[in-house]
Amino acid sequence: MIRQKSFGNEKPTLYLVPTPIGNLSEMTPRSIEILNSVDVIACEDTRTSGQLLRHFDISKRLIAYQNFNEETSSRGIVNLLSQGNNVALISDAGYPLISDPGQRVVNEASAAGFNVVPVSGCSAVLNAVVASGLIAQPFLFIGFLPSANNERVKKLQEYRAYPMTMVFYEAPHRITKMLKSCLEVLGDRKCCLCREMTKLHEEFIRGTVSELIEISDDLKGEMVVVMEGNRDDYSKDVDMSVIMQMVNESIEAGMSTSGAIKEVARKTGVAKNRIYDLVHKDEQKGTC
């Protein structure tokens, strides 16, 4: 167990600092204060972050922290912390770790005993959810789906039976393909496409998946798609022999029976009790 009292010690700290997703006026006073106080700022792109810091008259050492160099840069940041430095991690826009780099350094810094402190601020996920007009909670943040069609469809099938609102990120050059995959797998659900949030051309397009497909080729900018969850009982159509096979594969991979049942229920949307009954009956057959 690791117990962290963020402000009850003098340990070096890794701050997770969100940056504006468009409108620079949304940079919070605390974020500016933290960036002014740390010794080093880790960012995705030193050129992009350099412009942001100059806007707020912040002059600090910048280092690159990106997906492709995450292993080495994580070690570098932990080393900086071990030398007594405080470090801030920022994204090009929005919150670190939310479809952006940062997971590895958070894990390694906390495991090494350093403070990891989040700073409240901008999040495209929350902006989209609360303005979508769909049920705000519970919601499931998925982020970017795979770019390859087969992998995208396969991933969507995992979420097909989920009853909660779902949130996706998508790039403008892929939005039509993504929506067509959603229509194929999830059906013509209600959704809201949110683009260019907090910027001059901010737009919320509320309708069905098929309606959005009609105009998606003409849309530009950063996009978040909020989509309603399952309103049908897909589980009644599930081939339970496939469910049993999935459970057995998870058990063979080293999971406990209860863990395997929970995992398969999460992936398929079939009730845990139903899978438990299936497994229990199979076990009884084996003892006969």
In a shared domain, residues 192 and 139: yes
Domain boundary among 193, 209, 227: 227
What percentage of the chain exceeds 90 in pLDDT? 73
Same domain flag for 207 and 141: yes
Q: Are 144 and 87 contained in the same domain?
A: no
Question: What's the pLDDT at 287?
Answer: 53
What would the pLDDT profile of 154-211 be if each residue is shown by its tens digit? 999 989 888 899 999 999 999 999 999 999 999 999 999 999 999 999 999 999 999 9
Q: Are residues 192 and 276 in the same domain?
A: no
pLDDT(128) > 60: yes
Identify the pLDDT of residue 271.
Answer: 79
Q: Which residue reads 């049920």 in tokens? A: 135
The bridge status of strand 223-227 relative to strand 165-170 is antiparallel
- CATH number at 111 reads 3.40.1010.10
What is the C-alpha to C-alpha distance for residues 175 and 139, in angstroms, rounded to an integer?
21
Domain boundary among 93, 122, 151: 122
> pLDDT, tens digit, for every residue of 209-244?
999 999 999 999 999 999 999 987 655 666 778 888
d(CA 124, CA 21) in angstroms, rounded, equals 7
User: Where does a domain end: 122, 152, 174?
Assistant: 122
Q: What is the widest separation between alpha-carbon atoms in the chain?
A: 76
Whether 151 maps to a domain, the answer reads yes
What confidence score (pLDDT) does residue 288 get? 47
**Same domain for 135 and 93:** no
Residues 110, 30 within the same domain: yes
DSSP 192-220: EEEESTTSTT-EEEEEEHHHHHHHGGG--
Closest Cα partner for 62 from 38, 31, 28, 82? 38
| Bigger pLDDT: 279 vs 106 | 106
In this structure, what token pair is assigned to residue 141? Answer: 């943040």
Question: Could you tell me if residue 264 is inside a domain?
Answer: yes
Mean model confidence pLDDT for the chain:
91
If residue 224 lies in a helix (H) or strand (E), which one and from where to where?
strand 223-227
| Domain range for 34 | 13-122
One domain for residues 198 and 113? no
With 0.75 as the threshold, say if the pTM is over it: yes
How far apart, in whole angstroms, are the C-alpha atoms of residue 31 and residue 16?
A: 9
- Kindly state whether residue 3 falls inside one of the protein's structural domains: no
Shared-domain flag, residues 112 and 131 = no
At residue 68, does pLDDT exceed 80?
A: no
What is the structure's pLDDT at 274?
85
